Structure 1
């Protein structure tokens, strides 16, 4: 099982879109819990988190590290609100988690319609954790240094309403 960390920048509607896309993974037993990261206290986000059974963490700029501290699982899927994993992602992530050691530490989902500039950035990307990454908690807590990211065949898209 994994924990999903969702960084909120677009508000409760974008958060709800991402959380609803995770329901099949909860039913399949891949996602065990979710942590919602926001940079300020918000009653509406608190209600959405409560309804989803998620933990709301107020952290500077939605810090992945603060999310890792609140997570219940070792493998963490980092998403931005409005991110929608595409068909087949559950199987791909489940297999990676089952077969990988913490030292591997980092796997990256592909972004559809990323554009040329984004594609070049992804090609020469460093090991900095970003939305769309599956990362071991020990990497986020700086206990283990991640190797270069493994490219997963799973794809993630932004909901067009939220850019």
Structure 2
């Protein structure tokens, strides 16, 4: 793997839900292979509200914990991210086999004008899939789960101006 690394930002919408905490643990456990593969340099958990369970998981995994109260959770997480690229995830997202190589290749070959890479999310709801197809044509105005985007684009605000061109990536995200 290359020397370029990314930050993984995982959004935990409802940290009071025990199932959501289990889903967060599933996501973080898969990211360990990305750390071992030299791709994931740090992790950020963005929680919708304070939670002892989320704080405990963040402490145990070495992830930063950011509280988020509206707007883009990925923009909030980007403020704590330490790498130039950010992988946006939701608690429960499990990148499937081949994701490390795909993302390493993407960030290693991306030009400065590259918009964002988007992993395929077959478990996404109908509305998310429709929005994704429209954005594939006209560009993304905000980051979504499954996106790999430059940290500076996220930190600039919740909405991309101008819209970012999407580069579909061959890896996918499963939801067990």
TM-score w.r.t. length of structure 1: 0.89
- 1:13 pairs, out of 22, 26, 45, with 22
1:40 pairs with 2:45: no
Residue 148 (structure 2) aligns with:
134
In the TM superposition, what are the counterparts of 1:108-123 in structure 2 within 5 Å? 108-114=118-124, 118-123=128-133
1:158 pairs with 2:175: yes
Residue 76 (structure 1) aligns with:
86
Unaligned segments of structure 1, at least 5 residues: none
The CA deviation at 1:147 is 2.8
Residue 64 (structure 1) aligns with:
74
The CA deviation at 1:114 is 4.3
Count of aligned residue pairs for this structure pair: 159
CA distance in 2, matches of 1:42, 1:152: 34
The CA deviation at 1:138 is 1.4
- 1:99 pairs, out of 90, 106, 109, with 109
Is the 1:33–1:54 contact (alpha carbons within 8 Å) kept by the matching residues of 2?
yes
CA distance in 2, matches of 1:141, 1:105: 14
The CA deviation at 1:26 is 0.7
* RMSD between aligned residues: 1.9
